[in-house]
Structure 1
Amino acid sequence: MRTITLRRSLAALFAAALAFGAITQAQAETLRIGYQKYGTLVLLKAKGTLEKRLAEQGVEVKWTEFPGGPQLLEGLNVGSIDFGVTGETPPVFAQAAGADLLYVAYEPPAPTSEAILVPKGSSIQSVKELAGKKVALNKGSNVHYLLVRALEEAGLKYSDIQPVYLPPADARAAFERGSVDAWVIWDPFQAAAEQQLEARTLRNGQGIVDNHQFYLATRPYAQKHPQVINTLIEEVRAVGEDSKADPDKVTEQVAPLLGLSKDITSIAVKRQGYGAQPLTPEVVAAQQKIADTFTALKLIPKKLSIADVIWTPPAKVAQQ
């Protein structure tokens, strides 16, 4: 009797092991991408070419939308996605929080696709006049650094304003009802506020920030599947080239996906940077400056080394 029971137990354990192996294999054959309501990944998702190419490698693609970069990288940190795109500040906060991420590529600067906005009837005419005012922003997002640099340029400290940390939808609602004095935001939310609410730009990123977009992956996924990451970046670059060549076509394609008019979408599309490339020493240095800025402000708890989290593809992959 005991022998039969033992055999059954071993059989159950063997079945469980097989099931676990099948689950692990299924996870390895799925690329989980996090995206936001803007940027090249929206276009890539609509185009469908990535799915076709990766299917040849036995990889399925799963897409998940996030409201902002910090939320997306939290998804990456807890393991719900393998890859995503954000502005320049979210990876700094994520790295400081212990996320095991790698920068794999970046887009050219797009400094006008983020801005500090004020309502059309606002009496505020300069960044300096934000002293003591309530400013809405998504904490740890790309616009967080824009706000810091704009205040610095105006001779103000971050502590001179009252930051109100809200995701884009909530921030817009607060902005519309007048419970905040200014809103720091990115496209396409920026373009929508400019056109629909007649919001006025107090300061965009021109001359003070690059506003790079970064493509990031979890370190384990990038190390285990370098060819998948390489294929993904190739497809991102191809979509970017198409976008530069025919922005009107891209606008037609992406406007319904964003739920915005073609006029608003066109503004956002044309302000974006296109042409994903591996990170250069100059871009790494610029990102290090951002990290050091937030360390000095005590918004992150420790000094970071950006150079430690830059992906270098294996030589055989890089040569293909």
Structure 2
Amino acid sequence: MRRIAALFGVLTLIGSLAACGGGETTADGEQLRVGYQRFGGQSLLKARGLAKNATWSLFESGPALTEAIKAGAIDIGQTGEAPPIFAAAGGTKFKIIATSQPVPKGEAVLVKEKNGFTSFKDLAGKKVALNKGSNVNWLLVKLLEANDMKISDIQVQYLKPAEARPAFDNDQVDAWIIWDPYFSLAEAPGVKVLADATGLANNREYLLVSPEALEKKPDLVREYLKVYREVTDWGIANPEERVKLLVPELKIPEDVARRALGRSAQPLAPVDAAIGDELQQIADGFADLTLIPAKVDVKSLIDPSFADVLK
């Protein structure tokens, strides 16, 4: 357990911008500044070294990545479904140019077997940890809705993954709602998956790009998206090679990477009006619960200009 905890600490140490090297530059020295989280297609793309004209910056979570877009520190990055909504509510300017197929098994509610919880309703009055503004925030909303509960029926503890893991391990919280690969890292004897997002949330990934990058670097964005799709497709077709390549990048054990990738790696997909409607429903749900201060027009952030690259 100490070894796993140490590995988890390595994975979650980066809470803010961390430069991670880059690729070749164009003739005029222009590069695309890419924000990524450990795991997912972008990590594979970085590991294969095929994204030319790209520099890489590592983030612990989607909310931290969207803050970097707001600050003008990166041009493009990938998050779950909730961070774009919280970012838009906070005034961040961006467009959504791509998504993924649904990944409902890639996020879950974890509990300790010894506590005897058999359903989410058993968590009434209990402490439930999650990262505010991340994809699991929407899963919590849907779990409460499915179980005819209100957010006040549980004790929500908003903790980042690096804070939530020790709290969960030491029984300071009763449940942890978390995504891969942190989810896979936390799976151990005595830990139980109480529920995942199946039938509740699509848990897609979204690729966000700044308006400045769309205006000044459209060719770099298009080329990045093309290579990103090719590498993602290669990884799905070659799962064992993908695991071997990603283990050094993710800094997690091979069995953990294999389990997480097996349920969470999905192809890229274009954005369209239906994706806009899906995100708008989530945004309206957050506004109704006052998790964001007011309703936001998320549908207007959908930019299908690159759909031809993803079909």
Q: Which TM bucket (shorter chain)? A: 0.7 to 0.9
Compared with structure 1, are the counterparts of its residues 303 and 259 closer, same or farther at alpha carbon in structure 2 (3 Å cutoff)?
same
Q: Does 1:237 align with 2:229?
A: yes
CA distance in 2: counterparts of 1:267 and 1:94, whole angstroms: 31
Q: Does 1:211 align with 2:203?
A: yes
Q: Secondary structure of 2:51's match?
A: helix
Compared with structure 1, are the counterparts of its residues 47 and 314 closer, same or farther at alpha carbon in structure 2 (3 Å cutoff)?
closer
Compared with structure 1, are the counterparts of its residues 66 and 318 closer, same or farther at alpha carbon in structure 2 (3 Å cutoff)?
closer
CA distance in 1: counterparts of 2:306 and 2:152, whole angstroms: 45
Which stretches of structure 1, 4 residues or longer, exceed 6 Å deviation after superposition?
25-28
Unaligned runs of 5+ in 1: 1-24, 52-59
Q: Which of residues 280, 289, 297 in structure 2 aligns to 1:305? A: 297
Q: Does 1:48 align with 2:40?
A: no
CA distance in 1: counterparts of 2:285 and 2:29, whole angstroms: 37
**AA of the residue aligned to 2:115:** S
Q: Does 1:38 align with 2:39?
A: yes
CA distance in 1: counterparts of 2:151 and 2:230, whole angstroms: 40
Equivalent residues of 1:108, 1:273 under 8 A apart: no
**AA of the residue aligned to 1:43:** L
Q: CA offsets per residue over residues 119-178 of structure 1, 9 Å max, x none?
A: 232222110111111111110000010011011101111121111111111100100011
Deviates more, 1:299-308 or 1:210-219: 299-308
Question: C-alpha root-mean-square deviation of aligned residues, in Å?
Answer: 2.1
Q: Secondary structure of 1:210's match?
A: coil
Compared with structure 1, are the counterparts of its residues 304 and 256 closer, same or farther at alpha carbon in structure 2 (3 Å cutoff)?
same
Structure 1 residue 307 displacement after superposition: 2.1
Equivalent residues of 1:107, 1:273 under 8 A apart: no
- 1:98 corresponds in structure 2 to 91
**AA of the residue aligned to 2:135:** N
Q: Secondary structure of 2:114's match?
A: coil
**AA of the residue aligned to 1:248:** E
Q: Does 1:260 align with 2:252?
A: yes
Normalising to structure 2: TM-score of the pair? 0.87
Equivalent residues of 1:104, 1:279 under 8 A apart: yes
- 1:66 corresponds in structure 2 to 59
Q: Which of residues 285, 291, 294 in structure 1 aligns to 2:286? A: 294
Structure 1 residue 275 displacement after superposition: 2.1
Q: Secondary structure of 2:69's match?
A: helix
Compared with structure 1, are the counterparts of its residues 145 and 28 closer, same or farther at alpha carbon in structure 2 (3 Å cutoff)?
farther
Structure 1 residue 181 displacement after superposition: 0.5
Equivalent residues of 2:31, 2:54 under 8 A apart: yes
Normalising to structure 1: TM-score of the pair? 0.85
Equivalent residues of 1:114, 1:190 under 8 A apart: yes
CA distance in 2: counterparts of 1:107 and 1:177, whole angstroms: 35
Q: Give percent identity, aligned residues only.
A: 39
Structure 1 residue 30 displacement after superposition: 2.4
Aligned residues: 285
Indicate the structure with greater helix content.
Answer: 1
Unaligned runs of 5+ in 2: 1-25
Q: Does 1:174 align with 2:186?
A: no
Q: Secondary structure of 1:95's match?
A: helix
Equivalent residues of 2:32, 2:217 under 8 A apart: no
Q: Which of residues 224, 232, 245 in structure 1 aligns to 2:216? A: 224
Q: CA offsets per residue over residues 214-250 of structure 1, 9 Å max, x none?
A: 0101112112222111111111111111111111110
- 1:109 corresponds in structure 2 to 102
CA distance in 1: counterparts of 2:126 and 2:27, whole angstroms: 51
Q: Secondary structure of 1:100's match?
A: coil
**AA of the residue aligned to 2:141:** V
**AA of the residue aligned to 2:297:** S
Q: Secondary structure of 2:208's match?
A: strand
Equivalent residues of 1:143, 1:185 under 8 A apart: yes
CA distance in 2: counterparts of 1:281 and 1:273, whole angstroms: 24
- 2:242 corresponds in structure 1 to 250
CA distance in 1: counterparts of 2:299 and 2:138, whole angstroms: 20
- 1:57 corresponds in structure 2 to none
Equivalent residues of 2:135, 2:203 under 8 A apart: yes
Compared with structure 1, are the counterparts of its residues 77 and 135 closer, same or farther at alpha carbon in structure 2 (3 Å cutoff)?
same
Q: Does 1:78 align with 2:95?
A: no
Compared with structure 1, are the counterparts of its residues 216 and 281 closer, same or farther at alpha carbon in structure 2 (3 Å cutoff)?
same
CA distance in 1: counterparts of 2:29 and 2:281, whole angstroms: 35
Equivalent residues of 1:226, 1:314 under 8 A apart: no
CA distance in 1: counterparts of 2:239 and 2:253, whole angstroms: 15
Q: Does 1:138 align with 2:131?
A: yes
Compared with structure 1, are the counterparts of its residues 255 and 120 closer, same or farther at alpha carbon in structure 2 (3 Å cutoff)?
farther
Structure 1 residue 313 displacement after superposition: 2.8
**AA of the residue aligned to 2:281:** K
